[in-house]
Structure 1
């Protein structure tokens, strides 16, 4: 395996260098060798390695992906948190892809087993586990629902991240591969510790298995939805913010939030993960929120209060000024506030964004950055805390 790792990495690294030098695909294919993978697959891995830096940082320089695996690869912060939650013993990832989640399972489990139906991805998973320094792993190539694979797996924790088609607008169990219900019906014969990753936009009524639905926020944006069944479940619905690991559940006390159009000293943007999970009242109860609701929708929900609150699920702003919501008026007020930059925090058509922002920022020469909210017919000018 070490020989395989060295030879494949040499060819992928060579292709990466040639891509960065600007050579075209056909030229690069002539320069690289087919080592355990086809030349086309090595070229694909090289392109993905370059793009993976955004998600995996420096570590991407040593990892192996194909296009689909990179698109759905679990970010390190999420993989680490999930591995800690699933814990020790023997953990099996029965749709392991190229092994990103499996790598982090290997840090906390005594042994990890990866199952992958695609031959090339199964080999990439082995390479990635080796690069990660794991020794407590076994990769099986095959269908997790087959009798052959099922009979080989002895684990006290099962994790399944089924594949999905990116173009699908509606996510259901029936369109995921493998179908989570079939996985659950089969593997519950082995353990009551089964967890799934599901599409975060999946409607609650489409989740046909009982368990805790955990919505994961990464850097203040909805990133993942996990389903923890039976022994893994600690509540019905939860939300966790990473990297802080702050958590809110449907068992936290609720506080009703009155809706008003008046603005107090502070404005708070609410992480849409909380809204998707339906836990706004529980978040308010957990932090002891005393204030009111300015605006409510999944993508942008605003609260306001005279008090200052700290939560990973909130972005806090100090209100500086308010004025009529007209671009010229906003611009004049910003100049009086010595603004240099002004970021709109209200809905704008994407194609109109820079046109609107440039008008708002026209002639600004100060050093301060402000954020512009729209509440009714008013513009609220605020500083981020």
Structure 2
């Protein structure tokens, strides 16, 4: 899609093209394009309309009903904040007194839209002309023009003297590939990290794998998961910081776990139950805090499996009952699985170098039964646990 085609979608012909494409969203691209051209649509408009129909269908998971009237680019949708996460962040900003927000690197506008709905005036910018145009179109589509301005601009050139809050989501892709080194972010990490010195109420959205060494002094580092899927890290700076570390689990019942991220859990033997903490808990370094809620211990100080004597209902981890623990030997494991008639095997792992798919091929599973094994380390020794799920993280 181009900015010119995006403008066409605001015309009667463009609206009709989108309506027609919506009926063909599930059709193969060539079939849909042929059907749309048969209705008299120009090829470029037909292709763009069908792309929007497909992206809107995919976007329902992130944006719900809003997706039906929004516009997207493929990378923009992939990188966009889920509406549940953006909405929660916007409410927290509003409750902290932010009234005028600069959204630097706004993408297709997910966080801008959420902030505006929370009553915050937003100046949103993106360096990519098409992405900025898409964000502006989404603002208009959802009727938030009175609270939002969108511009195509370099984030580092934005005047921040008129805002009392900043949200920055630096670009972490280059040439279609993910960028893992913060020094390669756009805008630069030096600029991003320095925002809190210019506007104290600053929030930085970052990749979940961001190093703890990059957490600004005094900031709250939050890791967020949605239904068990780790989606982002966020650094809350200045007056926005409430605790040193936070793991936020969003879903039917949103829960948060807080702490310093510096505690160490006690170490002990394998016990009757093993807990697999949510990835947000692990990334926030709050495994020790979680362990204390279930009277748990680790079997290896470097592995984030927590062991306990009882199955405590918790939203912060999945719980399994340990049936058997034995030293890891592929030959022995294969024999045990054959004895049990296991043909379907769920493999979980932490601290093991084995590749689950490769292991399955070596095991040559055959039989009517199913089982779950956990590959891990116990007192630094490779170990396999036979386990049965007893509690789901979203009960």
- Same fold (TM > 0.5): yes
TM superposition score normalised by structure 1: 0.78
Name which of 253, 263, 288 aligns with 1:281.
288
Query: TM-score normalized by structure 2?
Result: 0.76
Q: Which residue of 1 aligns with 2:190?
A: 181
Is 1:217 aligned to 2:192, yes or no? no
Q: List per-residue Cα deviations over 1:168-203 (Å, max 9, x = no partner).
A: 55321x3111225325646754x3211111122122
2:68 aligns to what SS in structure 1? helix
Task: Show the counterpart of 2:56.
Answer: 49
Deviation at 1:74, TM superposition (A): 0.8
Distance 1:187 1:309, change over 3 A: closer
Check the 8 A contact 1:110/1:136 in 2, yes or no.
no
User: How far apart are 1:50 and its partner, in Å?
Assistant: 3.6
Q: How do 1:186-205 and structure 2 match up within 5 A?
A: 188-189=197-198, 191-205=199-213
Q: Residues of 2 paired with 1:61 and 1:355: CA distance?
A: 44
Shift of 1:296: 4.3
Spell out, residue by residue over 1:294-327, the C-alpha distance to the aligned partner (whole angstroms, 9 max, x if none): 6844xxx322111222332211123345678523
* Structure 2 Cα separation of the partners of residues 318 and 47 of structure 1: 43
Measured in 1, the distance between the counterparts of 2:316 and 2:37 equals: 51
Aligned to 1:236: 244
SS of 1:225's partner is strand
Residues 21, 53 of structure 2: 8 Å contact kept: yes
Alignment of 1:97 onto 2:107: yes
Deviations 1:190-243 (A, max 9, x none): x32111111221223345675222111222232201111111112333222223
Q: Which residue of 2 aligns with 1:290?
A: 296
Is 2:67 the partner of 1:60? Answer: yes
- Report if aligned partners of 1:220, 1:271 keep a CA contact under 8 Å in 2: yes
Question: Is 2:325 the counterpart of 1:317?
Answer: no
Deviation at 1:351, TM superposition (A): 4.2
2:84 is the alignment partner of 1:77: yes
CA contact under 8 A between 1:91 and 1:158: conserved in structure 2? yes
Contact 1:238 1:247 in 2 (8 A): yes
**Unaligned 5+ residue runs, structure 2?**
1-6, 377-381
Q: 1:126 aligns with which of 100, 115, 136?
A: 136
Alpha-carbon distance change, 19 to 80 in structure 1, aligned in 2, over 3 angstroms: closer
Bigger CA drift: 162-171 or 302-311?
162-171
Deviations 1:322-356 (A, max 9, x none): 678523423534x6xxx896422246525436647
Deviation at 1:258, TM superposition (A): 0.5
- Tell whether 2:384 aligns with 1:383: no
Q: 1:372 maps to what in 2?
A: 373
Aligned to 1:117: 127
The question of whether the paired residues in 2 share the 8 Å contact of 1:74 and 1:100 is answered with yes
**CA distance in structure 1 between the partners assigned to 2:294 and 2:180 by the alignment:** 36
SS of the residue corresponding to residue 150 of structure 1 reads: coil
Q: How far did 1:73 drift?
A: 0.8
Q: Shift of the alpha carbon at 1:61?
A: 3.1
- Alpha carbons of structure 1 residues 319 and 187: separation in structure 2 relative to 1, 3 Å: closer
Q: Is the CA contact 2:265–2:297 (under 8 Å) kept in the aligned structure 1?
A: no
Quick one: structure 1 residues 356 and 251, their matched pair in 2 at CA, closer, same or farther if it must change by over 3 Å? same
SS state of the match for residue 380, structure 1? strand
Q: Distance in 2 between matches of 1:87 and 1:2?
A: 35
Flag the 1:111–1:353 CA change in 2: closer, same or farther, 3 A: farther
Taking only aligned residues, the RMSD between alpha carbons, in angstroms, comes to 3.7
Q: SS at 2:314's partner residue? A: coil
Q: Deviations over 1:3-62 (max 9, x none)?
A: 82876454334345446333428747856868xx97765554344234334444554333
Q: Secondary structure at the match of 1:122?
A: helix
Alpha-carbon distance between aligned partners in 2 of 1:363 and 1:197, rounded to the nearest angstrom: 47
The separation in 1 between residues aligned to 2:262 and 2:178, in whole angstroms, is 37
1:151-162 alignment runs, 5 A limit: 154-162=162-170
Give the aligned partner of residue 345 of structure 1.
Answer: 348
Match of 2:3 in 1: none
**3-state SS of 1:258 partner:** coil
